[in-house]
Amino acid sequence: MAGSKRIPSGFFAEPGAENVSAVLFSNAGTVGKFGRMGFQDGLGRDQISAMLRGGAAYDHDPDATEPRMFSYEVGSRRERWGEGVVAFHNPGALHPLDDDAFPDATHYRLADDVIHVSSAPTLHVYQSQTISMVTTDRPTSGLDHD
């Protein structure tokens, strides 16, 4: 309850929701993603010598209790625009959405009142940080000692 307003849960149980196949969500459309996507295609390489990305991701082990940590050099794998998209499927949809409609997304489905991951890409990131190493021809103060 927010003040005097009631906000119901269970969107897919609302009248008319059978016309919604799924709800898509992403918090991955960030400046970091745009930078990585450009860098992997060669943009900015005159100013940035390398980019590193690391963080926490979905663990495909069914017994996992925590995310798995990951890191890689940007460009060593092909990041796709659809990575980071999440699809919550409506169990009562008149026209269910096939997982292939968004192959890079992680798909959640409700079965026996429990939410299950029905499919997820190899790398589904929960949180990450991108570090860019800037190219410079100027000496760094105090770091270059003989």
Q: What confidence tens digit (pLDDT) does each residue in 93-134 have?
A: 999 999 999 999 999 998 888 888 889 999 999 999 999 999
Q: Would you say residue 144 has pLDDT above 50?
A: no
What predicted TM-score, i.e. pTM, was given to this entire model? 0.78
Q: If DSSP codes are grouped into helix, strand and coil, which group holds residue 17? A: helix
- Sign for the CA dihedral angle at 81, 108, 118, 19 comes to negative
Alpha helices in the chain (DSSP H): 31-40
User: Which residue, among 8, 7, 27, 11, has the nearest Cα to 89 in the 3D structure?
Assistant: 11
The pLDDT value recorded for residue 146 is 46
Residue 119: beta bridge partners? 107
End-to-end CA distance of the chain: 65
Q: What is the pLDDT of residues 54-99, one digit of tens each?
A: 999 999 999 999 999 999 999 999 999 889 999 999 999 999 999 9
Assess contact for 110 and 89: CB atoms under 8 A.
Answer: yes
Assess contact for 60 and 78: CB atoms under 8 A.
Answer: no
Q: Where are the domains of the chain?
A: 18-134
> What is the number of alpha carbons within 13 Å of residue 89 lying toward its C-beta?
23
